[in-house]
Amino acid sequence: MNLREHVPLAPYTTIGLGGAARYFVDCSTEDDLREALTLARQWKLAVQIIGGGSNVIFPDAGFPGLVARVGLGGFTIREDRDTAEVIAGAGVEWDALVEETVRRGLSGVECLSGIPGLVGGTPIQNVGAYGQEVADTVVGVSCMVRDTLERVTLDPASCGFGYRASRFKREDRDRFVVLGVTFRLHRAVPTLRYAELANAVAKTTDLTRLSPPEAVRLVRETVLSLRRRKAMVIDAGDPNTRSVGSFFLNPVLPAAAFAELERRWKAAGGSGAIPTFPAPGGVKVPAAWLVEQAGFRKGHRANGVGISSRHALALVNLGGTTTQLLALAEAIEGAVLQKFGIRLEREPVVVSSALS
């Protein structure tokens, strides 16, 4: 185990913010991780696990404990006639895995193309986009229990998957470290459930006329095109991609709450229908719409941070600080709450600088 001290954390995140870690270790094996967690316990250090750094924000003061980056690599794909089992280490780059499954003509994660980060983060967030989420294909998540250092495998029902959430993010946050994930994919023409994607594909061809390999390739290419248009594919030359992706979750409102939103919208002089998507237990309202209608438009700037000029949910680092970024987030949250009575929920992990 290569333990380092006073390691700047900004380069390990897609948003490029944060001070230094008191201790930092790369864990490329389970033994590395077990040793790191044992050392942290002996030294009474707080531990922060990271992967690709695409969904984490560190404070300007850094982290006074141990940051462990999990990089268990390697994947295998076992195919039969109509299905395939994909077993991937937590440290495998997510989009590289998606690209390989699409190359093999397998369907199930093609709509998740272009999402930054590593495989280990996907079940934690229940990563989703364009009508797909990893909960649709996960069959097992291998983890290390932090307290006991034992290895366990959880089936999908035990993962507590929900909209951009799981037990790893909610009630069992910081209890497990994901070591690897097993997915089951299919050799089939994808069914598109997201209107924007379906319309974009329809402009090219009738998906049902294509073979499964042709169809999944087309869907991946279309998703990547849509994401690039919104600056949601990491590009070192585009400051709009210096972010953690969508900063706020789309709120799901039950009927009474949506009626109250409509009342407030009309009282404020709003015209036209509020955009919605069907969701279990109510309707999903685009957080981007709420943010813009509350007065925070694409391209907004405040000190060294701002809102992407191409996506209202992406808060971007324009040479600023974490303090400035969180101040902007709080201003947006306050404006949406005041105008619409809705509390926006943050999607990224915002790490505290204080030891608990």
- What are the catalytic residues? 164, 246, 347
Residues 344, 225, 17, 24, CA torsion sign? positive
HSE (side-chain half, CA atoms, 13 Å) at 233: 14
C-alpha span between 37 and 34 (Å, rounded): 5
> Tokens 């909960």 — which residue?
135
**Are 130 and 111 contacting, i.e. CB atoms less than 8 angstroms apart?**
yes
Beta strands in the chain (DSSP E): 3-8, 20-27, 47-50, 56-57, 63-70, 75-79, 83-89, 128-129, 132-133, 138-145, 151-154, 176-186, 252-253, 277-279, 282-284, 301-302, 305-307, 315-317, 349-350
C-alpha span between 35 and 149 (Å, rounded): 9
Name which of 90, 68, 57 is nearest 242 in CA terms.
57
Q: Which amino acid type is present at position 135?
A: A
104's CB contacts (< 8 A; 6+ apart) are: 77, 79, 84, 213
323 token code pair: 């303090």
- How open is the CA angle 230-233-239, to the nearest 5 degrees? 75
**Are 353 and 63 contacting, i.e. CB atoms less than 8 angstroms apart?**
yes
Name which of 114, 324, 120, 321 is nearest 235 in CA terms.
114
Q: Which amino acid type is present at position 210?
A: L
Q: Return phi, psi of residue 312, to 5°.
A: -70, -15
Exposed/middle/buried for 1, CB within 10 Å: 0-12, 13-18, 19+? middle
